[in-house]
Amino acid sequence: MRICFFLDERIEPEDEGSRFVVSSIVSERSLWDERADSATPIGAMRLSRRLDAIDNFLYGVPAAAIVGYANVPSGLALSGEVDGTRDVPRMSRLDNIWSIVFLSVITHGLGRICGATGGKVDMEIFHDPKSLTGSHREAVRTFLAHNLTAMASELPVKDPADEPRGEVCLSRFEEVPKPPSRATPTTLQRGTVLAHHLCTQSRSAIASTSLRVIGTVNLTEAVLEVFDRFAAAQN
């Protein structure tokens, strides 16, 4: 099975800090290629109708989505702060937080597809361009390439009758720029554009109790735990 992920992100002001949001559209690639054109009208809809339209479109593909968010206090979300790890010597604090949320959303997205098949999964990840350092970008790609199978195997089993989870391989990890004004989007651009629209609807998605295939996950604790470990390592 070939699965595609389309991701976009945004940072929103939050009480005493910032909210980091990453949205992900998850679909079997062949189904996406067949039906992506049907998502085009969503961007022209009124904001009040857009979230339900995304949910209905994904339900019909069928596909799914995850909106992950982390509320980060202002003392941590510092634009001028530089972090470092063994594999990424220098990265901006905001990019570091982004990568934690990004990877966590992919993990939760795996939960939407693993269990549906016990065979090998080829995973393609397409995301909005991000101005990361070369070492940071490569670290994210390498982490995914080496850990996707383990990440999938550790997810809770929804149905005891599910087959054992198979190997998950990263076959593509690419940036997809938004289409120029009035240009016809490519199939991949339709995915990242839809993820963008979902990002802008994140607060409504979090508050909703009626969405069928769009899930949300609060990653605040996960982000704060990582930085607690950073602080402990420096002491």
pLDDT in tens, 65-80: 999 999 999 999 888 8
For the record, the structure tokens of 168 come out as: 């998950």
pLDDT in tens, 48-65: 999 999 999 999 999 999
pLDDT at residue 139, rounded to an integer: 92
Q: Running DSSP on this structure, what letter comes out for residue 90? A: -
In this structure, which amino acid lies at residue 140?
V
Residue 166 has pLDDT above 90, yes or no: no
CA-to-CA separations, 4 to 24, 32, 192, 233, in angstroms, rounded: 10, 8, 11, 36
212 Cβ contact partners less than 8 Å away, ≥ 6 residues apart: 55, 59
Contact of 55 with 109, CB cutoff 8 Å: no
The number of folded domains in the chain is 1
CA-to-CA separations, 53 to 7, 42, 161, 191, 201, in angstroms, rounded: 18, 7, 33, 14, 11
Residue 165 has pLDDT above 70, yes or no: no
d(CA 45, CA 41): 7
Residue 23 has pLDDT above 70, yes or no: yes
36 half-sphere exposure, CB direction, 13 A CA radius:
22
Range of the structural domain that residue 175 is part of: 2-234
CATH number of the domain that residue 149 is part of: 3.30.420
> Can you give the three-state secondary structure of 105-134, one letter per residue?
HHHHHHHHHCCCCCCCEEEEEEECCCCCCH
Residue 119 has pLDDT above 80, yes or no: no
Is residue 186 very low, low, confident or very high in pLDDT (cuts 50, 70, 90)? very high
Tokens 């968010």 correspond to: 69
pLDDT at residue 78, rounded to an integer: 87
Q: Whole-prediction pTM value?
A: 0.90
In this structure, which amino acid lies at residue 105?
V
